[in-house]
Amino acid sequence: MSTADQIAVIAAAIALGSAVVSVLAIYVPWRNTHDSEVFKEAVLALERAYRSLMSEASSNDRPEADRLNWLTSARHIESYKSLRNSLKTRLYSRLCQQHEEHWRHEFYLRLLKDRIYQVAYFEKGPIEPRSAIVIYGFAAWPNKKQDPIDLLDLEALFQESELLKGNYGLQQYLAKFPQFGGEA
């Protein structure tokens, strides 16, 4: 290969490298900006879902059996899921999971803990069945989701926290459980 050919190959490689760097310089910030906006809308969809369900809430913070509230809430939950699935970065996906967990608990408290199980409640609206399935499905812990509490390194937690070591009431309580050195 002649010197001119070598220079041409090197120039082409440099041009290709520059093109790749240029594309990445545009794509990476766009992806982060995209995810930032999608994340904001996803969180807003969860907030709207909760507010929609609870908008006519009585003084005991139970949702009213209002068909439109349940439908609107379910639509916002489905919108959230669609937005969540369009996230492209691990960071924003993780942040979204955190907000989802918070709102799942809020829905759980209003629906499951308050024992909204009576058929009369659902017939009063009447509540659209698919909306109830969406909302109750969201409020429940997903079957395939691993609980982060199950992954804890308890020994490491005790070693890093003086508060845990000095809490004798907690230590006595934990001693009742086999996994903490107590009797079965």
Same domain, 62 and 85: yes
Same domain, 99 and 56: yes
Same domain, 100 and 164: no
pTM to 2 decimal places = 0.75
State which amino acid sits at residue 91.
L
Radius of gyration of the chain (CA): 26
Q: Tell me which residue range forms the domain holding 130.
A: 35-148
Q: Tokens standing for 121?
A: 């409640």
Is residue 144 assigned to a domain? Answer: yes
Euclidean distance between CA atoms 105 and 4, whole angstroms? 68
Same domain, 57 and 144: yes
Span 128-155, pLDDT tens digits = 999 999 999 999 988 888 888 888 888 7
Euclidean distance between CA atoms 158 and 170, whole angstroms? 12
Span 43-83, pLDDT tens digits = 999 999 999 999 866 556 788 899 999 999 999 999 999 99
pLDDT score, position 58: 56
The mean predicted confidence, pLDDT, of the chain is: 85
